[in-house]
Copies of this chain bind each other. A is one copy, B any other.
Amino acid sequence: MRPRRANSREKILAAAADVAREAGPGSLSLEAVASRAGVSKGGLLYNFPTKAKLMQGLVESYLSDFQKALEARAAEAGHESVLSAYIKLSADDCGRPKPSATWMFSAIAEDPDFLTPIKAFKHQLLERLKAETDDLGSLLVCFLAIEGMRSMNLFDSDVLSEDERKLLVSSLLKIAG
């Protein structure tokens, strides 16, 4: 599983995300990723035998990172609910100017089914949130609003100002209770 000399896998995954973000999702070619990762095409294909496997790797890495970040937030002192941890985490993620998951568009273009694990993850997360509240309406509003924030960030639509985002987050936290 582990590479012997260096961990090329993670370098490659990071390079793929970088290429998609900087050159556009349509420019995510194996050559571009390899070059960006400081690796030859052969080297890339050794680690990810197929472009599809690379996409899959991106999805898995994204999901495990997100999971870890959410768990860390939820474990922090002063969080009354997973929902508020999710809100704050998403607010921070979306505060960054450049979207970090542009590669998702490449994955969808390759095959929409690549996002199935992400859908499953979100479904699971929603179930978890449902379990900790009895106000389903408010939960849904918050959940969808977060989804909207993430989507706007992904599409690089900076429709909201900094102040507005802060107001939004505090409104959401209030609704979340």
Contacts and interface: CB of A to CB of B under 8 A. Distances in A.
A109 B112 contact: no
Contact of A159 (B110, B112, B122, B137): B122
A47 interface: no
Which label, helix, strand, loop or mixed, suits the secondary structure of the A interface? helix
A25 to B, nearest CB: 5
B175 A25 contact: no
B137 A144 contact: no
A111 interface: yes
A155 B156 CA distance: 16
Interface string A108-141: 1111100100110011001000000000111011
B149 A144 contact: yes
B25 A157 contact: no
A52 B156 CA distance: 20
Interface stretch (A4-12, A67-75, A78-86, A162-170): A162-170
12 contacts: A24-B112, A119-B158, A122-B159, A136-B164, A137-B167, A137-B171, A140-B167, A141-B168, A141-B172, A144-B148, A145-B145, A146-B148
The 10 closest A-B pairs by CB, nearest first: A147-B148, A151-B151, A148-B148, A144-B148, A137-B171, A26-B109, A144-B145, A140-B168, A145-B145, A119-B157
